[in-house]
Chains A and B, each alone.
Chain A
Amino acid sequence: MLVAVVPAYNEEKRIGSVIRDLFEHVDKVLVVDDASTDNTFQEARKAGAIVLKHVLNRGQGAALQTGHEYANIIGADYVIHFDGDGQFSTKDISGAMQHMQEAEVDVLLGSRFLQKKSNIPWFKAKILLPLGRIINNLFSGLKLSDAHNGFRILNRKAFNKIKINQDRMAHATEIPAQIKKYNLKYVEFPIEVKYYEYGQNMAGGFKILRDLLLGKFLR
């Protein structure tokens, strides 16, 4: 069973169509509504997803971990992390799944850089993401072509081993770090990302760095 885990915060406009598209490629869609103040919850339900609701906003990392734990309860074989804002293309899923099974790995990580599929804004492509890559390599020890890509597929072994403690965006570095720590086999796969509006900016990057540094002192 392949379960899509979709963390969502105030995505009422796009979540419905994302879920409907997902159902063409996955068995179940699990939306973790991270205390949205709009109708994300109702829209996701209406589109047929299982919806878990955080009563307080805890961030994307926290929502993904909630998704993992639920996936474990319902006995999922694979989970796919998928953004609720329609940035990813569901067309990448079947190819990614096939590639993952052929390569016999535990984790597949999406990459915007393996092929020129995405039209990444200049500042993001030339400054932010390379910086993110350096920080990512520093903290996780895993060399990836795309450090902060939210498209991932994990098999049961992987999503049970990996425990996301970084509630906010630093989970994107924490996951590779745990892949290395638990010796999980991984592969990168080219995917397409559409840019509607700006996601992480420089300030967001610093917040991630702060979370990573503080995280070093917490167990």
Chain B
Amino acid sequence: MLILFQILFILFAGFAVFNVISRKRSGLLGQRAVFFWIFFWILGVIVVIWPNSSSILAAYLGIGRGTDLVIYISLALLFFLVFKLNVKLDSLNRDLTKIVRKDALDNNE
């Protein structure tokens, strides 16, 4: 019997996968990103439906509980993504500056 949280999570995962596919259709996501995100959400659904699955892996890695493992991985992933986004933003900023500079140099006097 599924508990409410599991149902909600599966619905959300379905929504997220649908989103990934529609982004792919409009050409915003590459092949690799599509695989990664679908894999990610399928993994999420598996862990939510069978919580023991993460415990097995956790025990193997020497971590007490499956939920702890999920939290550790999620945090590491989030930090990594935030860092990548930050670097990306900075490099976009630098590109923007180059354009603004070129415009300023071209349009003087």
Which A residues are within 8 Å of any B CB, using their own CB? 32, 50-56, 58, 62, 65-66, 69-70, 73, 165, 167, 211, 214-215, 217-218
**A215-B100 Cα distance, complex, nearest whole Å:** 20
Query: Chain B's nearest CB lies how many Å from the CB of A30?
Result: 9
Q: Do A167 and B108 have beta carbons less than 8 Å apart?
A: no
Size of interface on B: residues with Cβ below 8 Å to A? 16
| B24 proximity list for chain A (CB < 8 A) | none
**A167-B99 Cα distance, complex, nearest whole Å:** 13
| A69 proximity list for chain B (CB < 8 A) | 101, 105
Q: Can you spell out 17 A-B residue pairs with CB atoms less than 8 angstroms apart?
A: A32-B104, A50-B108, A52-B104, A53-B107, A54-B101, A56-B100, A58-B97, A65-B97, A65-B101, A66-B104, A70-B108, A165-B94, A167-B93, A167-B94, A214-B86, A218-B90, A218-B94
Per DSSP, chain A at the interface is mixed
Q: Do A55 and B94 have beta carbons less than 8 Å apart?
A: no
Query: Chain B's nearest CB lies how many Å from the CB of A204?
Result: 17
| A73 proximity list for chain B (CB < 8 A) | 105
Q: A214's closest neighbor in chain B, by CB?
A: B90
| A51 proximity list for chain B (CB < 8 A) | 108
Q: Do A214 and B104 have beta carbons less than 8 Å apart?
A: no
Query: Chain B's nearest CB lies how many Å from the CB of A217?
Result: 5
